[in-house]
Amino acid sequence: MSLLHLEGVTRTVERPDEEPLTILHGIDLEVDSGDRISVVGRSGSGKSTLLNILGLLDAPSTGRIAIHDRDVRTLSSAHRDRLRGSEIGFIFQQFNLLPGRTALENVMTPLLYAHGASFWRRESIARAMLERVGLGHRLDSKPDRLSGGEQQRVAIARSLVRGPRLILADEPTGALDLETGEAVMSMIDEVATDTGAALVTITHDPAIAARATRHYRLIAGRLFEGAEMTDDAAETPTVAVAP
């Protein structure tokens, strides 16, 4: 059973007084537990739109998305929200931390929507996750007292605290220096490996993309398999079909 499956997915937006704009064209992609996938694309290639669809934040105009072999179109909005909260973790270039809250309070936030033991044990779970990312000594620090690398580690802890099966990383090292970025990616890889989660990294950085085991390029809204493709490949495209 695949974790997430996209088949023939397109995304078109209406524009006032202009023709509709198609951002994604016929995307096919299968994501299984433990996968390490990179998607590289230039600005304007459709990376953010693809991320929103993978994360169930947006719906395709045509095509099919299935999570655990269930067609997302058959799920209620509330069910999709619950799936997103429990199954998918987001790591963004901008850390999006709550400025007036401590590191511990930031990481606890997703657990406010959990149920049962995860809700009642939210503080101890958040503490353990911050320890795991090396910030056990910074529990009471607010974002303005943390370095960029520390803020990103808090954001990572927050995204992983509910044990998601799919981690979506959108330019996760874009706001970090090279050394810190490498350390952060190693940490994300380690946590994903320990939990068996799939990791999809959307980036413009070939070095970050090279860490994956399956590589794709997004060119003008079309997904191509292979890390070495150039824009010239768009002349004779072979749309990626997941193994």
**Digit-coded pLDDT (tens) for 100-114:** 999 999 999 999 888
According to DSSP, the residues that pair with 92 across neighbouring strands are 170
Per-residue pLDDT at 123: 94
| Cα 184 from Cα 188, distance rounded (Å) | 6
* Residue partners of 36: CB distance under 8 A and separation at least 6: 189, 192, 198, 199, 201, 211, 212, 213, 214
Whether residue 198 contacts residue 34, with contact meaning beta carbons closer than 8 Å, is answered with yes
pLDDT above 90 as % of the chain: 56
> Which token pair is 146?
């943390």
> Which ranges of 170-233 does DSSP label H, i.e. alpha helix?
178-195, 206-209
Which residues lie closer than 8 Å to 41 by C-beta, 6 or more apart? 47, 202, 204, 217, 218, 219
- For the entire predicted model, the pTM comes to 0.85
The per-residue pLDDT for 4 is 94
pLDDT averaged over every residue in the chain:
87
Take residue 232 and report the two structure tokens written for it. 């010239």
Least-confidence region, from 37-41, 75-79, 105-109, 231-235: 231-235
Q: How confident is the model at residue 147 (pLDDT cuts 50, 70, 90)?
A: very high
Domains plus CATH for the chain?
4-235 (3.40.50.300)
Task: Name the band, by pLDDT with cuts 50, 70 and 90, for residue 1.
Answer: low
